[in-house]
Amino acid sequence: MNTCTATAQNTLPRPTRAPASARTVLRLLQQLRHGSLSISLPDGSTQTMGDGRGPHVSVHMHNWKPFGAALKSGDIGFAESYLDGDWTTPQLPALLALLAANRQALDDVIHGSWTGRLFYRIRHLLNRNTKTNSRKNIHAHYDLGNSFYSLWLDGTMNYSSAIFEGDLQQDMQRAQHAKVRRALHMAGVQQGQRVLEIGCGWGALAEKATVEFGAHITGVTLSTEQLAWAQQRLAALGMDSRADLRLQDYRDIHDGPYDAICSIEMLEAVGREYWPTYFQSAARLLKPGGRACIQSIVIKDSLFDRYIRSTDFIQQYIFPGGCLPCPSEFRREARAAGLQVVDELAFGRDYAETCRRWRADFLARKDEVLALGFDERFIRIWEFYLAYCEAGFEAGDIDVVQYTLAR
């Protein structure tokens, strides 16, 4: 990331031959209050704007299309123009963080016109997580193939934030083990107990629950690829007799109650309409006096209302049907289901570091990803996705929290 300080701000008159959309966006960008931005335009000129303090980011516009796309569809339109190769930058996370820091001044560019937003909002609503759509939505992301994810995830196959315990230079596998171990500890898991994991992924928590904690675990997922990997993983450890891993919707679990429940970054995929069902299911399946540890990405309370009235890049391209709760909504939904939040650990900076490493490892294996049959647009989608998340966690617009709930 280039963090040098720019000395020239708001330089050069706006290009008179540029399309009206470009002139409008460039005028809005004059309102930058945090950091500075240099834009190389298609006509060969360069525009620099900002307060000259803080990070300086450069962008190269290969044509005029991104300006119109941003005005029409906000951050999604701007993102799509990146996917199309219409603009590039060597500092993608820094650029996205700069735009987030200047959200208020750039409101029209970030959120777009109401007509542009409406199209994406309708498309998002059509992906609501009914039982049928849930399988389709999970398949769209997690069944890209184990060979894909194993290229750039660490050896634990955790696809959720690590906990670096104050040391961001720490080894990723150690930090991922710390995250899983803490979740099981906060859920109060003891030897011989029955533990339910809602969203078992590739079996990282199931492995630790059985091998290290001596528990019996039931894990559910809607991903056939993840299930096959997790079952093989536990069998190879000789723990298949302690692990019942299933292709099952959490709403169809009826063999409770369990002594403890863990769910790592599953709630975000549920969709707001189904949050009550999710928390009611957890309460129904948890023994009286039992504890659940739910790790969830959350959006800042002050941004929540606007967020739920629109849609974003993640919902359109990465997690169809998903929706982030905010901390106050999480607590409200838990309380309504009869669950009490007794502990919270927020570690958003750890997620920014996790995303930074994922993106670096993903791009380092780009040729191997392409060899799996994916194309350059797919590469740009995932590069943008990981940078978008990193920037959000760094800015504090989103966070990740391990909530401990008691029944």
Pull the structure tokens for residue 144. 């890209």
CB < 8 Å & 24+ apart, contacts of 283-287: 283/337, 283/338, 283/339, 283/407, 284/256, 284/257, 285/196, 285/253, 285/256, 285/257, 285/258, 285/261, 286/256, 286/257, 286/258, 286/260, 286/261, 286/339, 286/407, 287/256, 287/257, 287/258, 287/259, 287/407
Which two structure tokens, joined as six digits, stand for 357? 């490493």
In the residue annotation, 355 being an active-site residue is answered as no
Beta-bridge mates of residue 88? 60
**Annotated catalytic residue within 262, 293, 323, 389:** 389
Under 8 Å between Cβ of 242 and 215: yes
Cβ proximity of 406 and 294 under 8 Å: no
What would you report as the CA-atom Rg of the chain, rounded to the nearest whole angstrom?
22
Q: Is the dihedral of CA 139, 382, 402, 191 positive or negative?
A: positive
State which amino acid sits at residue 341: V
Give me the active site residues, please: 389
